[in-house]
Homo-oligomer: A and B are copies of this chain.
Amino acid sequence: MPVIQSVDRALRILTVLQGSRRLSLGEIAGRLGLAPSTVHGIIRTLLAHGMVAQERDSQRYRLGPATLRLGNVYLDTLELRSRVATWADELARRTGCAVRTGVLLLGDVVVVHHEPRPDGTRQMPEVGIVIPAHACALGKALLAFDPAGLVDVTGRGMTGETITDPVALDAQLDQVRRTGIATEAEEAVLGECGIAAPLADAGGEAAGAIGLVVPASEWPPAASAVDALRAAARAVSRELGAQAWPPPAPDRLRPPASA
C-alpha cells in the first residue's frame, strides 16, 4: 500500500512534534533522517495552515491552533461519543467511578469521552489523552476484537505491572473475547486500575470501549459495578446498531475452511 511520501513526512513531523512538544528545525530533521531544507519546506506549508507555530523568540516549532480545531470537529462527528454521553453519566453515578470511553489509534487508545468521578472534586478533563493499548483495560477490550492484529505487540512497560509478554497478553485477550470484560491493575499508572468493555457497532466490530477507572485501594470492584458496566456497553452497542454483544471474534481468529 503505497503512501504519498511528502504527506507521510508531514504527518511524521507532526507526530514528532507531538511527542516532544517544542523542537528546532535541526532536531526534527535529525529524528527523521532528512535534510533540514526538506523539513523546512514541509514545515512552511504546515505553518501556512496553522498546523504548527513558530515561537518568535527561540525560533523553535510547536503544534499550532489548527490541530485543536480539527480535534474538536472530530469529537463532534463521532456518533459513538454522543451515544455514550448519557450512559456514562449514569454509570458514573451508580459506581462512583470515573468513566472513560476510548477508540483505538494504531497501538494506542485515545480517550474521546470522560465522565469525572461524581464526588465533586476538581478533576482534569482527560479527553484527548493517549494510553498504550496493551497497558489499559480500554485497550485490551479493543485489541481483543480488532481485525488487525496487535500492531507491534508489546514494546516496553510503563510500570512494573505492565504486561510485556505477547503470549500472556494474548491469553488475556482470549478471555476478554469470551467474557466481554477486560481488566487492568496498575499496568499504566500506579494506584490506578481499570475495567472495560467493548462497544460494538452495526458491522459487528469494536468501534470503541467504555470503562471504569478504579483506585487501587478499591480493587477489585463490586460485582454490581461490573454488571452496570456490562449493561451500559450492551445498551450503547444496541444504539449503534449492533446485533450481538459481545461482538464476534475478528476474522483473523476464524480460519476454519478456506485454505
Contact = CB atoms under 8 A, between A and B. Distances in A.
Interface size class on chain A is 35 or more
Given A73-B21, A74-B63, A77-B62, A112 B68 contact: yes
A56 B203 contact: yes
A183 B65 CA distance: 23
B4 A68 contact: no
Interface string A91-102: 000000000000
Interface in A13-55: 14-15, 18, 21-22, 41-42, 44-46, 48-51
Nearest to A76: B21
Contact of A70 (B6, B63, B125, B127): B63
Of A15, A50, A66, most B-chain CB atoms within 10 Å: A66
Contact of A128 (B1, B2, B69, B205): B69
B130 A69 contact: yes
A3 interface: yes
A189 interface: no
23 contacts: A3-B45, A4-B44, A4-B45, A7-B7, A7-B10, A7-B46, A11-B45, A18-B73, A50-B105, A56-B205, A57-B202, A63-B73, A63-B74, A67-B70, A67-B71, A68-B112, A69-B71, A69-B105, A69-B110, A70-B70, A71-B128, A72-B128, A75-B128
Interface of A: 1-4, 6-8, 10-11, 14-15, 18, 21-22, 41-42, 44-46, 48-51, 56-57, 62-77, 103-106, 108, 110, 112, 125, 127-130, 202-203, 205
